[in-house]
Structure 1
């Protein structure tokens, strides 16, 4: 049997091609680490030790002569080369999963998504009709809520949630969607009344707007080197959309992420206070491990990536 095949006038030697391809297990390890941002999480997903995952990544990088990851806080971040490689490798794995699911008899599907209210209202709801293009035969429910579903009890199929650094969802598949920079914002009218803010000390004297509790502000100040207990006053609102609206109305300083207020800053409705580079956590797609590789969840992931791009 020949190893050659001719396609539209081009002769391809599949034996030589297979020798040039990296091992599949190394590619799976790379894709899992790139998606989850954690060697340990990738090991749990692949049912191997985190040392085995690290070894596969090390061998893959040596084989290709490219560094795919760099340290970022407690986790890993993709380099430019790693990000480009991940985009193509992940789509290849998605194509395999979808092709496999299409071999099975078609059944009507339903997708129940619970989502943090801020990102649901500001970024996802305006683009929800386009999700039908990704899931044409799926009945989709998007529920903005701060409650956490019991995914193992089938309360929901997926959760889109902001997880602070170090926060975990035991027994679940967690994929990082976006790691936003967090910073304080005010309205121009608020700055006109209170004057410019040039230091954290001046910021602490202003009315702060909190999302449910003072925890987000406390984490932010801690990243800037603050120590000891802070007496943070100000209104506590239910979700991020409300804190942004309160700041837009000139009622105080809101803590928010670039993913939520980009449009408001572009239009001049809000202004960033101070110039900082603080990341407190990530927006994540959370599912059970068994659902994470199903066609509806993969399609949902692609839709979210396109919406947030």
Structure 2
């Protein structure tokens, strides 16, 4: 693609403002510069073009015929740029790109999004699976949802909106054999789930011999539904499965130190971000509470 042959854009902007407003001082006020700066830019543009664009005394400059023709062309180009810019900004005010831990997105957030769209029909939400630290300077997201004890990082504003409870879940038929006898299900990214549950409950289970590992938590939960073993899951991921009878949690759930946080850039919030955060907090407040651990868990 050939290189563009364009005069300095700052000079074009100064000349367009002068031609549209008719006076150097008005152009200077609009562009927040001095009268002299506008004059220098216009003179520099004339030298660059090799054509006089203005004529008359310094305190009464007017456009030459060449200047009028050039100003008309510039006005159309600037109008097109302005229209495109306003359209982009309008779309940005309607769109929200959220990065979210995958299982929460699948099992809790996305099934509830129709309620958000019903309340805000002009807004669009796009959800992308992500787990790492939040960095809005690097990542193409407007907001994020993470499960953590605390959110750290410069320029971040974190709103905890949902407590986290976890506990062992399994298929109803497998529950009759007892937790100690069930194969232990794990996920590769979070193999410490059983150890954390033991820490939070004070229950020590023998390590056992039968362990099965899955790449993602939602795979592990489907394995639990299929009767392949027992796995530790956050309550919010399995509330629907327990209500429908696909899974049972015979020993209930226990609170963890971690919470789900809504993370956004610190400072002034775009209206779509504020609307989504408000709705998220309301949805979390209406979520069904878990059955807390009440039955003793047999060790062994």
Under a length normalisation based on structure 2, what TM-score does the superposition of the two structures give? 0.56
1:173 aligns with 2:175: no
Partner of residue 298, structure 1? 274
Partner of residue 138, structure 2? 153
1:268 alignment partner, one of 211, 227, 245: 245
| C-alpha spacing 1:232/1:155, structure 2 compared with 1 (3 Å) | farther
Cα distance in 2 between the residues matched to 1:231 and 1:270: 22
1:224 alignment partner, one of 189, 201, 205: 201
| C-alpha spacing 1:228/1:273, structure 2 compared with 1 (3 Å) | closer
- Cα distance, 1:300 vs. partner? 0.7
Does structure 2 conserve the Cα–Cα contact (< 8 Å) formed by 1:182 and 1:280? no
Partner of residue 42, structure 1? none
| C-alpha spacing 1:283/1:250, structure 2 compared with 1 (3 Å) | same
2:109 alignment partner, one of 124, 137, 144: 124
More displaced 10-residue stretch of structure 1: 254-263 or 128-137 = 128-137
- Cα distance, 1:185 vs. partner? 0.7
- Cα distance, 1:135 vs. partner? 4.1
| C-alpha spacing 1:168/1:124, structure 2 compared with 1 (3 Å) | closer
Cα distance in 1 between the residues matched to 2:139 and 2:122: 20
2:266 alignment partner, one of 259, 267, 289: 289
- Cα distance, 1:229 vs. partner? 11
* Number of residue pairs aligned between Structure 1 and Structure 2: 193
Does structure 2 conserve the Cα–Cα contact (< 8 Å) formed by 1:210 and 1:235? yes
Query: C-alpha deviations, 1:95-135, integer Å up to 9, x for none?
Result: xxxxxxxxxxx733221111111110111222323333444
Partner of residue 112, structure 1? 97
Cα distance in 2 between the residues matched to 1:224 and 1:130: 36
**Larger radius of gyration between Structure 1 and Structure 2:** 2
- Cα distance, 1:181 vs. partner? 1.6
Partner of residue 58, structure 1? none
Does structure 2 conserve the Cα–Cα contact (< 8 Å) formed by 1:134 and 1:303? no
Query: C-alpha deviations, 1:20-44, integer Å up to 9, x for none?
Result: xxxxxxxxxxxxxxxxxxxxxxxxx
SS in 2 for 1:180: strand
Does structure 2 conserve the Cα–Cα contact (< 8 Å) formed by 1:207 and 1:233? yes
Does structure 1 conserve the Cα–Cα contact (< 8 Å) formed by 2:182 and 2:229? yes
| C-alpha spacing 1:113/1:244, structure 2 compared with 1 (3 Å) | same
Does structure 1 conserve the Cα–Cα contact (< 8 Å) formed by 2:201 and 2:254? no
Cα distance in 1 between the residues matched to 2:209 and 2:153: 32
Query: C-alpha deviations, 1:117-170, integer Å up to 9, x for none?
Result: 11101112223233334444434211123344522335211111211x3x4322
Partner of residue 171, structure 2? 187
Give 1:6-21 correspondences, 5 Å limit: none
| C-alpha spacing 1:247/1:228, structure 2 compared with 1 (3 Å) | closer
- Cα distance, 1:186 vs. partner? 0.7
Does structure 2 conserve the Cα–Cα contact (< 8 Å) formed by 1:214 and 1:232? no
SS in 1 for 2:97: strand
| C-alpha spacing 1:121/1:275, structure 2 compared with 1 (3 Å) | closer
Cα distance in 2 between the residues matched to 1:127 and 1:290: 27
RMSD: 2.8
SS in 2 for 1:263: helix
Cα distance in 2 between the residues matched to 1:229 and 1:185: 17
